[in-house]
Amino acid sequence: MKLETKLVHISEPDELTGAISTPIYQTSSYVQEAPDVNKGFAYTRTANPTRKVVEQAIADLEGGIAGFAFSSGLAATDCVLKLLKQGDEVIAVNDVYGGTYRILTTVYNKFGIISKFIDTTNLENVRNAINKKTRFIWLETPTNPTLKISDIEEIAKIAKQAGALLIVDNTFLSPALQQPISLGADIVVHSGTKYLSGHGDVLSGFVVVNDQNIADELKYLQNTSGGVLSPFDSWLTLRGIQTLYLRLEKHSENAKKIAEYLLTHPKVDKVYYPGLKYHHNHDIAAKQQKNFGGMVSFSLKEDTLEAAKRFLTRTKIFLLAENLGDVRSLGSHPATMTHKSTPIEVRKETGIQDSLIRLSVGIENIDDLLNDIKQALD
């Protein structure tokens, strides 16, 4: 099946009842025929029929052999990091999501895990950073929030030669626009809160793997740590995935037009959007992505926190919120919101200026969105 069809038919009719929509199995436990003899389900932390469907769905969409659903994107990240042991090292893209930076530098560092943050858009930086202790290379591409593009296929080759695992956070594009496993990634991570569910009503996270040994270990960790996705949120995510292709097409179409408009505005300094031909590594984005996504970031010539806040408090359609991937357009200020926990010197070094504004472009009418940006800037 083509992707559009596959997304609509992401779940099969329920075997028990024939229900077209996957039922919400809102139960904590299941009757057993005898001790440890059951129908494949004993306790919902370990497995749930509704969660099982969404886990298989995301695995199929990403081209992996197994998927795991969690209560948030950071719960998914945390589970993957539990694969590490004392003395292991992580190489991560330098403007990684603030929550990922925080968990690496304030939690896992206490257990003897060292993290290096580098500009992974330059392959030589990756080669120079790797050593025999490197266990993970952690990418976001595009990154949050400066939308840097890293070459997944080439970095996967470097990781393999070094005996490291390549993890790609695919939140910004989803499997509708990018499939890292097909490019050589070992593990894909998602905040399903964003584009997968797509309607601002779910908190979820996903991990997809392409190796049975890693899948077995993650399944053990998921059950042991317990941060699993609820049956109802599993169902909501399944519902959202069915319109993923259509939504991402519209998100991408609107975002490109907004990025092109921002380039022409006299108050705007830098515009970050991989669909612009001057964007660093635009050619790589065009090669490994099906489209350029719905995220646009830009900075102002008046590079101050106050200037950014003035813009974000004047928009009418772009809602000021700490989220992205919603059908509604959202705006945020990374320096004081998503990357507030990132040290200021690290933040500025990676391009997260005081005036940097991140837009999650929704699926509204483009004229309304452009007019809203114009009135807020003017």
Residue 351: pLDDT band with limits 50, 70, 90? confident
pLDDT tens for each residue of 145-177:
999 999 999 999 999 999 999 999 999 999 999
Q: State the DSSP H helix or E strand holding residue 52, giving kind and residue range, or none if neither.
A: helix 49-62
CA distance 53 to 22: 8
pLDDT per residue as tens digits for the range 42-64: 999 999 999 999 999 999 999 99
Q: Which of 226, 93, 113 is nearest to 103 (CA)?
A: 113
Asked if the model's pLDDT at residue 364 lies above 90, the reply is yes
How far is C-alpha 204 from the geometric centre of its chain's CA atoms?
Answer: 11
User: Is 30 marked active-site?
Assistant: no
Average pLDDT score over the chain:
96
Residue range 348-376: average pLDDT? 95
Residue 220: its pLDDT value, please?
98
Q: Give tens-digit pLDDT for 215-264.
A: 999 999 999 999 999 999 999 999 999 999 999 999 999 999 999 999 99
Tokens 């593009």 sit on residue = 149
Share of the chain above pLDDT 90, in %: 92
Residue 52: per-residue pLDDT: 97
Whether the predicted pLDDT of 344 surpasses 90 = no
Task: Report the pLDDT averaged over residues 265-279.
Answer: 97
pLDDT for position 145: 92
pLDDT beyond 90 at 341? no
**From the candidates 135, 194, 239, 347, which is the catalytic residue?**
194
**Burial (0-12, 13-18, 19+ Cβ within 10 Å), 154:** middle
Whether residue 95 lies in the annotated active site = no
The answer to whether residue 110 scores a pLDDT higher than 80 is yes
* Separation between Cα atoms, residue 301 and residue 145, nearest integer Å: 18
pLDDT at 113 over 80: yes
The residue assigned the tokens 């950071």 is 74
pLDDT band, residue 349 (cuts 50/70/90): confident
The residue type at 10: I
Task: Name the band, by pLDDT with cuts 50, 70 and 90, for residue 346.
Answer: confident
Pairing of strands 319-320, 330-332: parallel
Q: Write down the pLDDT at residue 340.
A: 77
Rounded-to-integer distance, Cα 233 and Cα 202, Å: 6
Note the pTM of the prediction, 2 decimals: 0.96
Mean pLDDT of 308-335: 96
Backbone angles phi, psi at 206, to 5 degrees: -140, 150
**Catalytic entry in 25, 97, 195, 245:** 97
Catalytic residue among 6, 14, 30, 45: 45
Question: For position 41, what pLDDT does the model report?
Answer: 92
**Active site (annotated) includes residue 309:** no
7 — pLDDT class (breaks 50, 70, 90) = very high
C-alpha to C-alpha distance for 52 and 11, rounded to whole angstroms: 10
Q: How far is CA 39 from CA 25, 43, 116, in A?
A: 14, 11, 46
Q: Among 78, 95, 119, 169, which one carries the catalytic annotation?
A: 169
199 pLDDT higher than 80: yes
- 239 a catalytic residue: no
